[in-house]
Amino acid sequence: VLSYRLQLCVSVPVAEVVGVEEGQVEVLPHKSVEDTDRDFTVFYVKRSSSRTTSGLLWRLGRTQFTCPSRVLRDQWTKHLRTALKTHSPLRPHRLLVFINPFGGKKKGRQIYHSLVAPVFELAGISSHVIVTERANQARDHLLKKDLTGFDGVVCVGGDGMFSEILHGVIGRTQQEAGLCENDPAVTLQSCPLHIGIIPAGSTDCVCYTTVGVIDPVTSSLHIVIGDSQPLDVCSVHHGPGLVRYSASLVGYGFYGDVLAESEKRRWMGPFRYDYSGAVVFLSNRSYRGTVQYLPADPLMSSPRDKTRYEWVSVDGRFKSVSLTCMSSSCAKSPLGLSPSAHLADGTGDLILVWDTNPLGFLTYLYRHTTTQDQFDLPFVEVHRVKAVRFTLAGGEETEDSEGLHGAMDGGDGAYVENGSIAGSQQHLAAGANGQMMTCEDKTMSPFTCGLCCSKAPAVSVWNCDGEILPFPEICCRIHGQLVRLYARGIEDGTFLKDCTEERDECNRTCIPPR
Ligand SMILES: Nc1ncnc2c1ncn2[C@@H]1O[C@H](COP(=O)(O)OP(=O)(O)OP(=O)(O)O)[C@@H](O)[C@H]1O
């Protein structure tokens, strides 16, 4: 606990002290040092509530101390630095930083050098910075190059850039562990490298969901103090192989169509999403399909309780089928696609929106922008799941997920590694081991045509974290806590609400005991 002589008292947990410097020092917005013999400056995390977002903005707080002598000053700085090392073992020392210079408003480089690098330098972090020259450069680097000595990887960019780094970090870990990523039944190894996200994209959904604000300084402070937030990841498989990993949204129907439309209109910039959303909404499409899901444990289960978790199958016509491992919130939808989804409980939320009339679907979409419950509608259902499989209606089966079924309907409800991809599919079709629900009664007769297209397509595409998957038949498995982010989830800001002085310009910090 630090205190100083004026009436003001600032309490800072050691874990939130960013650095200690001799002299009277300023770091942001510009570095200045007045080197005096008896002074030292302590930098720490200072919170302030954001009027526009749910999370708390973090700022670099700064307090100067004057000691009676230089000897005493040196004792203070030495002891404080030792305390930081002892109390914060997860603080990174060396980071690999990838900057996408073309993400969002193309300000990645500027954001990093003016707001983030000074904070890293203050915290004594050495960084190796790579400004990417092409898509997938960061992923390839992580898969192939020597990563010895790095504690973490920092992504300066948006969700697409984060996805690249996610694929690189997961792929590298499985390579080194000798595990086959193609087999959905294999339990993947969690990744030792932490990932930090400095938001510099268009949507920055993963950053918003895991930190609560889109703010480079807040994110850089989470990195330097070594915060650690585990994250579930979904692997998406098609045929005999892995297609992609997803941290936020795997969506078919509406969300797939919006992405496909917006890709055609890249020239419009970020506005293309709103425009494409309107076009797809007006085209009023819905798609037939069969969704099979493995429900998550309803209550805490024991590996010895011999409970069988059975696949559930639903068949019908859907406006959208979405699977998300996190709430997937963003500035436009502050509570997100599934507001109570957990970041790291090993489950995903499956949201089925049955075919309905346009007004009903508009209500569903609109509720994402408000605090109203978007699941409290008769044509929407949501399930907490461990795995999902989607096939086109008509009974054509693909071979992709038979291994998953075989491995995952085992007696203790746990995943069982099973090298063979064969043979356990029949029980689903026959309904012997799963529940088959045909929900024609929930399904409205199809709208064949909307305002914007003359002929409704029979099949949509999947939107996997902003990438189009052109094949409809996929199976997905949630991998609990596969990666770790330098974050801590969204902090509760209610304790700041009563403090009228805690604004950006305020020098005080009010921190409740943790
Ligand atoms: N140097 C580069 N040139 C072209 N594309 C790149 C480069 N570096 C990265 N990319 C690719 O650009 C894509 C988009 O980048 P990014 O996610 O950073 O920005 P965004 O699309 O504006 O933001 P968001 O994904 O949050 O909407 C990523 O899929 C990434 O693979």
110 and 207 inside one domain: yes
Calculate the average pLDDT of the chain: 83
Classify residue 503 by burial, with Cβ atoms within 10 Å: 0-12, 13-18, 19+. exposed
Q: For residue 170, give every residue at least 6 positions away whose Cβ sits within 8 Å of its Cβ, in sequence order, or none.
A: 181, 188, 191, 233, 245, 482, 483
Residues 369 and 465 in one domain: yes
Look at residue 34 and tell me whether its pLDDT is greater than 70.
yes
- What CATH number is associated with residue 35? 2.30.29
User: Are 292 and 227 within one domain?
Assistant: no
Domain with residue 257: its CATH number is 2.60.200.40
Active site residues: 159
- In a domain, residue 508? The reply is no
- Decide if 97 contacts 127 (C-beta within 8 A): yes
pLDDT at residue number 89: 84
Q: How far is CA 502 from the centre of its chain?
A: 29
Specify whether 67 is located in the same domain as 137: no
Both 130 and 213 in a single domain?
Answer: yes
Of 63, 88, 113, the last residue of a domain is 88
Give the domain-ending residue among 72, 88, 104.
Answer: 88
Residue 206 belongs to a domain: yes
Based on the domain organization, do 380 and 263 belong to the same domain? yes
Together in a domain, 169 and 279? no
Ligand 1, pocket-test mutation among 97, 99, 100, 463, most atoms within 8 A of CB: 100
133 lines ligand 1 (CB under 6 A): yes
Q: Is residue 489 part of a domain?
A: no
| CA 419 to ligand 1 center in whole angstroms | 36
In a domain, 510, yes or no: no
Q: What is the pLDDT of residue 74?
A: 96
In tens, the pLDDT along 319-374 reads 999 999 999 988 888 899 999 999 999 999 999 999 999 999 999 999 999 999 99
Residue 219 and residue 295 share a domain: no
**504 lies in a domain?**
no
CATH code for the domain of 225: 3.40.50.10330
Q: Does the structure show a pLDDT above 80 at 68?
A: yes
- Any idea which of 288-297, 330-339, 398-407, 477-486 has the lowest mean pLDDT? 398-407
Tell me, yes or no, whether 509 lies in a domain: no
Q: How far is the CA of 198 from the centre of ligand 1 (A)?
A: 13
Number of domains, the chain: 3
Pair 166, 265 in one domain: no
Instruction: Please indicate, yes or no, whether residues 67 and 105 belong to a single structural domain of this protein.
Output: no
- Does residue 121 fall inside a structural domain? yes
Backbone angles phi, psi at 463, to 5 degrees: -105, 110
ipTM: 0.97
Q: Which of 102, 154, 167, 208 to mutate to test the pocket of ligand 1 (most atoms within 8 A of CB)?
A: 102
Q: Which residues contact 42 (CB under 8 A, 6 or more apart)?
A: 2, 12, 17, 19, 20, 62, 63, 65, 80
> Which residues form the domain of 307?
235-479
163 and 252 share one domain: no
pLDDT tier, 407 (very low <50, low <70, confident <90, very high otherwise): very low
Per-residue pLDDT, averaged over 16-39, amounts to 87
Does the pLDDT of residue 25 top 60, yes or no? yes
At 154-210, the pLDDT tens digits run 999 999 999 999 999 999 999 999 999 999 999 999 999 999 999 999 889 999 999
Does the beta carbon of 103 lie inside 6 Å of ligand 1?
Answer: yes
pLDDT score for 413:
34
pLDDT above 60 (res 112): yes
Say yes or no: 301 and 362 in one domain: yes
- Domain end (from 55, 88, 121): 88
The Å distance, Cα 159 to ligand 1 centre, comes to 8
